[in-house]
Amino acid sequence: MNHPSIDPGVALNGKTVLVTGAAGFVGSHLSDRLIALGAKVIAVDNLSTGKMENLSGVAAHPNFLFLRADVNRFDEVATIFGKRKIDYVFHYGALAGVKNVIERPLEVFKDIDGIKYLLALSHANGVKKFIFSSSSEAYGEPLVLPEREEGPLNPSARDPYGLTKLVGENLLYHYWKVYGLPTTSLRFFNVYGPRQESSGYGYVVGIFMRKVLSGEPPTIYGDGTQTRDFNYVDDNVEIAIRALLAERANGQTVNVGSGKPVTISELARKIAAAAGRLDLEPAYLPKREIEIRYRCPDTTKMKDLLGYEPQISLEDGLRRTLEWYKSHA
């Protein structure tokens, strides 16, 4: 497909962009990039899992404003919109991570409120585009591989996180179709990179790296043949900014991933190899009920609509991430 080239530095210079979940892993990288592109960033986070240190590179920038607020409370979101003109919204704030979801399932559903409030206020205040971080969990256990946006969904009634993301996607589509608010839902597969939570409440790359760097074997739930797709955070941010600026992505749901899934055993081996600790054979534990067996995104729509292919290989991304964990022991 032919792509009109939009220079994000020109398109975003001086624009006001609201980023929710900005003190989290992906939101903080997105905030860094938006500031570098000349945007004014209003970073919102309730600091439930996010950390201010993630924003240390931009906190003092004149175009950066941090507001501590809970986006699941209407009054708090209304105050943010009441005081300033917002051009664009990235709604990334959410309770995420497998362990959090298992331990606090009913809290996950509260995030539906935040999506509703942000959409309503974005529409009422003339926001030009609204991007939502959905998830591959919207597919549930896939019925067909690779997973295509227009293909079948198999959401599990037991997974509040996937269900919440699906409701969010549908609300975004409603606001586009009924009210003409330009929206795009991005179905992130596994994103990884510096700053990602690596405690037991974190994500597989960080968890494995922490283990290996402390001389322990990575722990795998299940037999290790389950597949996941990994997207380095810089690529993820670039894709999200393209989605923001691409009119052709309005009203669409788009997979965001590498399209090159690996098994979890293979991931553990690559991380051990990057750390020079191939002697650390993974330890295997029983499968967790909530976990999905296969993830494999079809990234055709992402490439067609956004004209972008991830640039950072898994090996390179793992090397960069490992360096960060080494220097943030």
Ligand X SMILES: NC(=O)c1ccc[n+]([C@@H]2O[C@H](COP(=O)([O-])OP(=O)(O)OC[C@H]3O[C@@H](n4cnc5c(N)ncnc54)[C@H](O)[C@@H]3O)[C@@H](O)[C@H]2O)c1
The angle, 0 to 180 degrees and rounded to 10, between the axes of the packed helices 314-327 and 264-274 is 60
**161 is a catalytic site residue:** yes
Q: Which residues would be at the binding site for ligand X (CB under 6 A)?
A: 20-21, 23-27, 44-50, 70-72, 92-96, 114, 133, 135, 188, 190-191, 197, 203
Nearer residue to ligand X within complex by CB, 69 or 280: 69
Alpha helices in 69-199 (DSSP H): 74-83, 98-103, 105-109, 111-124, 160-179
Nearer residue to ligand X within complex by CB, 26 or 244: 26
146: preceding bond cis by omega (within 30 degrees): yes
Query: Please, what is the minimum distance in Å from the beta carbon of residue 192 to ligand X?
Result: 7
| Dist. CA 120–CA 68, nearest whole Å | 20
The three-class DSSP label of residue 129 is strand
Query: Please, what is the minimum distance in Å from the beta carbon of residue 21 to ligand X?
Result: 3
Beta bridge mates, 20: 44, 91
Query: Please, what is the minimum distance in Å from the beta carbon of residue 215 to ligand X?
Result: 26
Nearer residue to ligand X within complex by CB, 94 or 272: 94
Query: Please, what is the minimum distance in Å from the beta carbon of residue 14 to ligand X?
Result: 25
**Among 82, 93, 90, 173, CA closest to 129:** 90
Place of tokens 């959409």: 119
Nearer residue to ligand X within complex by CB, 54 or 265: 54
Q: 92, 161, 175, 308: which is the annotated catalytic residue?
A: 161
The residue length of the chain stands at: 329
Catalytic residue ranges: 161
